Amino acid sequence: MIVRCILGFVIVMGLFPFGPAAAADSSEAAFTEKRRQMVEAQIAARGIKDPRLLDALLRVKRHRFVPLHIRPSAYEDRPLPIGEGQTISQPYIVALMSELLALKGTERVLEIGTGSGYQTAILAELAREVYTIEILEPLARQSGRLLTELNYKNIRLKTGDGFLGWPESSPFDGIIVTCAPEKIPPPLLEQLAEGGRLVIPVGKHWQNLKLVRKTKDRIKEADIIPVRFVPMLREKK
Ligand SMILES: C[S@@+](CC[C@H](N)C(=O)[O-])C[C@H]1O[C@@H](n2cnc3c(N)ncnc32)[C@H](O)[C@@H]1O
């Protein structure tokens, strides 16, 4: 009797590893609910307002972009490891950087640091075309496969050193960098269209997230918030 009571208690509390609560926790419905809570508590509550962006964050299944064993944590308020010593950024940072690009749906965007492909997918929901560069071949292969499986038709991905940008396809209306250089790479400024926006973390250990705007005759730079990104790697010649 005592044993049955304890067992019942454990199942009710959702702590029994094979109980109904554990099964429900990894169902699509459970992930959808976690995603809704993520958008409400981590994104909208912190002041992100763009309705197209909030919709995209509700639509894109973040749990598909993390390794299987950390799927239960996919909607937590933090970056997570994705292999190769790299991370998928915190959901709020993905949202903030996307909002800073002020996308309307007609733009061509360049992303440096594909990583898991999650930020790429969010951009693909918001812009006309997304060009993305990842320096680490295994991550580029993995995210390329996933983005194809998810049926994104407006993404072009290549492996390479994003410091150099993608000159053949420039200029870009928006450029987003998800790894941190110590200084803004000059090729990225050159490849930014007039009226375009560059969102980039700049610095060594801690960085400033910067919004750079290019107008006809000048470059305007604004510091947004302090952030911590993985460093920008360089390809050896
Ligand atoms: C914070 S992680 C990626 C976050 C990613 N946006 C996501 O949603 O998963 C930064 C990525 O930048 C890549 N990276 C670092 N230096 C790079 C470079 N020079 N060119 C392109 N990618 C680079 C890293 O390999 C890593 O995958």
89 is catalytic: yes
pLDDT digits (tens, 9 = 90+) for 197-232: 999 999 998 999 999 999 998 999 999 999 999 999
Question: Is 178's C-beta closer than 6 angstroms to any atom of ligand 1?
Answer: yes
| Cα→Cα distances 124→65, 79, 121, 183, 234, Å | 15, 21, 5, 27, 26
| pLDDT score, position 3 | 40
pLDDT tens digits along 159-179: 999 999 999 999 999 999 999
Which pLDDT belongs to residue 25? Answer: 64
Give the distance (Å) from ligand 1 centre to CA of residue 97. 14
pTM assigned to the model: 0.90
Indicate whether residue 91 lines ligand 1 (CB < 6 A).
Answer: no
Per-residue model confidence as pLDDT tens digits over 74-113 = 999 999 999 999 999 999 999 999 999 999 999 999 999 9
* C-alpha 212 – ligand 1 centre gap (Å): 19
In the reported structure, the alpha carbon of residue 135 is separated from the centroid of ligand 1 by a whole-number distance in angstroms of 7
Q: Which one is catalytic: 26, 27, 73, 89?
A: 89
Percent of the chain scored above 90 by pLDDT?
Answer: 86
232 CA: nearest ligand 1 atom: 16
Q: Any residues with CB less than 8 A from the CB of 146 and at least 6 apart, and which? A: 64, 65, 117
Using DSSP's 3-state secondary structure scheme, residue 220 falls into strand
What is the tens place of the pLDDT at every residue in 104-127? 999 999 999 999 999 999 999 999
- Residue 179, ligand 1, Cβ within 6 A: yes
Query: What pairs with residue 207 in β-bridges?
Result: 227
Report the distance separating Cα 72 and Cα 93, nearest Å: 20
Closest Cα to atom 27 of ligand 1: 115
What value does the mean pLDDT of the chain take? 91
